[in-house]
Structure 1
């Protein structure tokens, strides 16, 4: 049998956080955290931060939300907030 024997695929170190966003969501789900990321086309047209990450439940005492103009900005803010809340996201 060939192929990846581990749980997580190898991450392209040259890639950005947007390359691992789905893995982060999957990991959060495994921790009992409800999480989502969405883009709002109306906010993008209005030149507002169109990307939103939201999470709640599990080990998070309170729900959280992070917004950004790009998915990278949104997820970077979200990871910072998750780490401040005590979740050591492995990405």
Structure 2
């Protein structure tokens, strides 16, 4: 699943998410993924992963999201 499909899949499940690259980090883990559930729920959560590449960042994000019951398709 590519980044766009992943973000759309999360949107369909009312999860706010973003993938960002930050050039200001001088190449040190410049990729960030952040996702969060609806803040007004008692069981709200958030996930953040940082990595050296977009691929690794999304891989880490998938693992973190799975811990919150979001098992993304391949």
Superposition TM-score, scaled by structure 1 size: 0.71
Unmatched tracts of structure 1, length 5 or more: 1-16
1:18-59 Cα shifts (integer Å, max 9, x gaps): xx111000000000000000000111xx23100000000159
Higher-Rg member (1/2): 1
Separation in structure 2 between the aligned mates of residue 57 and residue 80 of structure 1, nearest angstrom:
16
Aligned residues: 71
Correspondence 1:62 to 2:42: no
CA distance in 2, matches of 1:63, 1:31: 14
TM-score normalised per structure 2: 0.86
1:77 counterpart residue number: 60
Higher strand proportion (structure 1 or 2):
2
